[in-house]
Structure 1
Amino acid sequence: MEINSKSGSRLESFLENPSKALWTLAIPIMFGMGIHTLYNIVDMMFIGRLGGNAIAGVAFNMPVFFLMLGLTMGLGSGVTASIARFIGENNKRNADNSAEHALAMAAVIALIFTSAGLLFGDKILAVLGAEGEILNLAWDYLYIIIIGLPFMIFSGFFRSILAGEGDMKFPMMVAGFGTILNIILDPIFIFDLDNYGGIGFGMGVKGAAMATVLCQLIIFIIFIYMLFVKEHAYITFRLKDFSPSKEILWDIVKVGLPASMSMIIMAAGQGVFNKILIHYSSQTVAAYQVAGRLDMLIFLPIFAIAGGMTTLVGMFYGANKIDALNHIVKYGISSAFMITMISSAFVYFFAETFSSWFTQDQEIIHVSVGFLRLLCLVYPLVAIGITSGRVMQGLGKGIPVLVITTVRVLGVSAPLALYFSFVLDKPVEWNWYAMMISTGIAFIIAVSWVRLEMNKINQLQEVPV
């Protein structure tokens, strides 16, 4: 794997053609996420062969897993935006220091979440509604994942650092390698593979977790080697000379902490929905998990474009290139909307076929198809909302994403779903209606907020100094 090392700042090449720059960043993200989405689908297909309870057990892990990684990914977005703006300002020293702060935060987060997970993980799963065999399966999976959590956290921050300098290709290659390896290891650890000479370990859901942890360890080692030994990045790490800075820490936290809180709120919302859906049946929880894996086919291009926009918006805003900033905001949001229209239609028409890949349980398939066909109607609005949020993060503003997420999850979807299910005693489809209503409201807030901020920036640009 030949990688150009010690690359220079990519700002000037991005300014030459902002539209091309977006795809230069987004396509590697899309490719890497596409491989990971394939893994999620294949992983769930393997777990589905263990039965509906195995799917439900893994499903109960998702809010916990999302909670643990929420802080990492949220602060990572703050790191990306901070580094991108410093590079835009041609301030490499602060960009380097921002990256070093990111690694310090990674160490603290890894220590706290690994310790808390090992001590309280099974109790949290029980609070979320898992019980009996499903609780045992859920804890079997989570316990092993927690052991590998530090590798995942550090690798996540390494990706955020590289994204901040506009390097999406190398993290994509590393993630792609790890994901393909994970797909290979999954059946070996999950099943006995008696038909292949009994080469499998037959660990069930524990095996799925073990394969993931081993691959995350390998990814972590590759990042360490390339960034610290080969010095691949434009960013330079000099940890022995690291000096904490309140200003740089705040530059990261003002975007990253609201983003983290947003993801924690989404994790809490997912936990609430699991608690609601188990009221109907364990198959309903399993169906929600299956549909969640499939809707990644739709979110794949959205997150890829949004990830590229955070970097470009940060660089262009930091460099005070307002024309390029205006262009990339309009181009990125409209591109995400159009692509999502197409992908939503695709999933809508093939929802039943896709759902049947994971299980032959007709109740699971029926609920999954119902979820997908309703939510596909509002996913284009989700695309605009997500990209709008990343624009705000690129501008160094984290609060809008937190406010929008809070309103969507805690203010609308979760309360409505609880009301529909337990007060009005409505069928499961009404939970999907609650999600659709909340999506529409979040869309209106997000678009209005971005327009307000961009108008402010353009008005300031017009004022003579």
Structure 2
Amino acid sequence: MTSVDQKSSRLDEFLESPEKGLWKLAWPVMAGMGIQTLYTIVDMIFIGRLGGEAIAAIAFNMPLFFFVLGLTMGLGAGVTASIARFIGAKDKVNADNSAEHAVVMGVGISIILTIIVTIYGRDILLGIGAPESVIDLSWSYLRVICIGLPFMVLSAFFRSILVGEGDTKFPMTVAALGTVLNIILDPIFIFTLGLGVAGAAWATAISQITVFTIFIYMLFFKEHSYITFRLKDFSPSSYITKDIIKVGLPASMSMIIMSFGQLVFNRILIHFSTDAVAAYQISGRIDMVIFLPILSISYTLTTLVGMFFGSARMDKVKHIIYYGLSRSFMIAVVTSALVYFTAPKLVLLFTDIPYIQETAVTYLRLMAFVYPFVAIALPCGRILQGFGLGMPLLVITLIRVLLISSPLAIFFIFVQDRPLEWIWYSMMISTAVAFVVAVGWVMWALKKYSVQPTGVQHAKTQLKPNQ
């Protein structure tokens, strides 16, 4: 059986049993993200032993990290959706060409970002609010991270390509290997070699280079994937570029907006203290654990909705959307209860500073009430990407971050002089509004595509080879 036949049978398998297909794709994603989240937790525990200023130094790097992540994962979402729809339409030529476009984009983004951050990184950190007390620590971290930046970007594109073809196991295995290596190297560079915060960055950079090397070997030399990489045969296509960008650019912008939102909240929190920023970062790490299964389901829904939509099977599209959202909601209800009652013990893993503990616990217990709303709104954005719709996610994020949570937080703290927890209230309000908008948009899309031509006909008329 050829690789094409194997991949066709994978599509047929997903069509035959969407539920099994969802979990077959979701479990590897969950495992890989779980190990990655474990790393972020272990990393924060190690850095936390260096003190509150060390945590804050990393915190001021997070907006930059999310900016880069926004570009790569956003455009990667466009690649995933494009490849999934082409495979659903059984159009391998354009699926291959989409992947080749992704690699070219990744190289370009890597070069530009590395140059900018290397030259202007310290000034950027100062511009986003890093105080003099932590700027040296922040820059020592960012300067080293720049070394691994291009490898991180390209590896993210490789993962998006593989997820688009329905392979989540291999990319997540590779990512897991890199994460385990990072966890091993962290204490060596931070404590044994005495490099402190910069040591954490060295461990990360080495791990990113290792992951990239594995991807290059397996995809270009061993030809592991269904997608065939032949960059010498790369044919620039305006159709494919537009198909990727119409989903990828709004997704990138939405993540950049979230990065900006984190910047705003850091600036508001620094009004109280660097310990307040540290508490927010610790809470964010715990949030990542909570949303692991929900994120896994979300990423899987992009692939399955894209494939089923490309195959013109709206019955399967509706079925997998209902199934995915219902499971996501159930998981969130259970995890919300667990977090509410175990918050003090969870926070104690990261710090023994009373103020940071109290602030982080308050955040977690308040946000636990809106986690079920996030469990619906988050997958809805990815579902719409599967349809090839990128703007909804951008609009939802814009409403949540820039139009509601950030302005409300600024109003509560600087106008009404409210205590710190009112920042968390602003987040809760914006989450509820985002939930309503996201659900309404998915209902609109289902109604629209149930009565309009979709699938193979749509793909063939909108996305032509080599144009």
Please, what TM-score do these two structures have when normalized by structure 1?
A: 0.96
Aligned to 1:133: 133
Q: For 1:166-185, what per-residue CA distance to the aligned partner results, in whole angstroms no more than 9, with x for missing partners?
A: 00000111111111111111
2: CA distance between counterparts of 1:127 and 1:334?
Answer: 43
Within a 5 Å distance, the mapping from 1:202-241 to structure 2 comes to: 202-241=194-233
Of the three residues 329, 339, 345, the one matched with 2:337 is 345
| 2:95 maps to amino acid | A
Give, in whole Å, the separation in 1 of the partners of 2:292 and 2:384: 20
2:42 maps to what in 1?
42
Give 1:5 deviation, angstroms.
7.6
- Residue 8 of structure 1: how far off its partner (Å): 2.3
Matches within 5 A, 1:307-318: 307-318=299-310
Q: What's 1:77 paired with?
A: 77
The aligned residue for residue 368 of structure 2 is 376
Structure 1 residue 459: deviation in Å? 2.8
Q: Which residue of 1 aligns with 2:461?
A: none
Secondary structure of the structure 1 residue equivalent to 2:224: coil
2:146 counterpart residue number = 146
Q: Distance in 2 between matches of 1:54 and 1:376?
A: 27
The counterpart of 2:434, out of the listed 442, 452, 457, is 442
Instruction: Verify: 1:412 aligned to 2:423, yes or no.
Output: no
Q: Which runs of 5+ in 1 are unaligned?
A: 192-199
Q: Partners in 2 of 1:341 and 1:63 — Cα distance?
A: 29
Partner of 1:295, secondary structure, is helix
- How far is the alpha carbon of 1:457 from its aligned partner? 1.6
Q: Secondary structure at the match of 1:213?
A: helix
In structure 2, C-alpha distance between the alignment counterparts of 1:207 and 1:5, rounded to whole Å: 43
Counterpart for residue 63 of structure 2: 63
Matches within 5 A, 1:33-432: 33-191=33-191, 200-432=192-424
SS in 2 for 1:150: helix
CA-based RMSD of the aligned residues comes to 1.4
Map of 2:460 onto structure 1: none
State the alpha-carbon separation in 2 of the partners of residues 76 and 256 from structure 1: 6
Distance in 2 separating the partners of 1:117 and 1:334:
42
AA at the equivalent of 1:8: K
The 8 Å contact of residues 265 and 405 in structure 1, kept in 2 or not, is answered as yes
CA contact (8 A) 1:152 1:216 kept: yes
Show CA shifts across 1:125-157 (max 9, x none).
112211123111111111111221000000000
Which whole-Å deviations, capped at 9, do the CAs of 1:181-208 have from their partners, x for residues lacking one? 11111000000xxxxxxxx211000000
Are 2:13 and 1:8 equivalent residues in the alignment? no
For 1:155, give the aligned amino acid.
Answer: S
The amino acid across from 1:144 in the alignment is V
Q: What's the CA shift for 1:43?
A: 0.5
Letter in 2 for 1:46: F
Work out whether residues 5 and 232 of structure 1, in 8 Å CA contact, stay in contact via their aligned partners in 2: no
CA distance in 1, matches of 2:449, 2:70: 30
User: Which amino acid is 2:129 matched to?
Assistant: G
Structure 2 distance, partners of 1:154, 1:321, is 33
Q: Distance in 1 between matches of 2:418 and 2:123?
A: 30
CA distance in 2, matches of 1:351, 1:124: 34
* 1:244 Cα offset (Å): 0.6
Q: 5+ unaligned residues in a row in structure 2: which ranges? A: 458-467
Paired residues of 1:392 and 1:400 also in contact (CA < 8 A) = yes
1:222-266 deviation digits (Å, cap 9, x = unpaired): 000000010000000000111110000000000000000000000
Cα distance in 1 for partners of 2:398, 2:452 equals: 30
Identical aligned residues as a percent: 60
Amino acid at match of 1:33: M
CA distance in 2, matches of 1:287, 1:253: 36
For 1:77-131, what per-residue CA distance to the aligned partner results, in whole angstroms no more than 9, with x for missing partners?
Answer: 0000000000000000000000000000001110111111112111111122111
**SS of the residue 2:261 aligns to:** helix
The farther-off stretch of 47-56 and 453-462 is 453-462
Q: Which amino acid aligns with 1:47?
A: I
> SS in structure 2 opposite 1:148?
helix
CA distance in 2, matches of 1:5, 1:263: 35
Structure 1 window deviating more from structure 2 (270-279 vs 141-150): it is 141-150
